[in-house]
Amino acid sequence: QMLCCISPQEVGPTMVGDEHSDPNLMNYLGATKRNMLGNHFWEYYVNDAPRIVLDKLESCGYRVVSMTGVGQTLVWCLHKE
């Protein structure tokens, strides 16, 4: 399973999934589902800093496989066997 975490800053909020994400995992992360004005899709986000989200995902068996910055946005890609 692949998962991406996206944050516009190091302190949050952090986008943790889309409308197809595992609802049990989103619940564990404490994520809220939202639709931003102008978007035709839903996303899950948490107000936690990425560090907190990454720690929670690690406890579920996810491992970071890559990380990059896009402008002021930070993106982590994780994988779970």
Q: For residue range 52-65, what is the model confidence (pLDDT) as tens digits?
A: 999 999 999 999 99
- Find all residues with CB under 8 Å of 73, minimum gap 6, and list them: 6, 7, 8
The pair of three-digit structure tokens given for residue 62, joined into one six-digit string = 């996810």
User: For 26, which DSSP code?
Assistant: H
CA dihedral for 40, 43, 47, 53, sign (positive or negative): negative
Structure confidence by residue, pLDDT tens digits, 8-34: 877 878 999 998 999 999 999 999 998
Residues 39/59, Cβ–Cβ less than 8 Å: no
Q: What structural domains does the chain harbor?
A: 14-80 (3.30.1410.10)
How does the average pLDDT of the chain come out, rounded?
89
* pLDDT digits 0-9 by tens, 28-45: 999 999 887 787 888 999
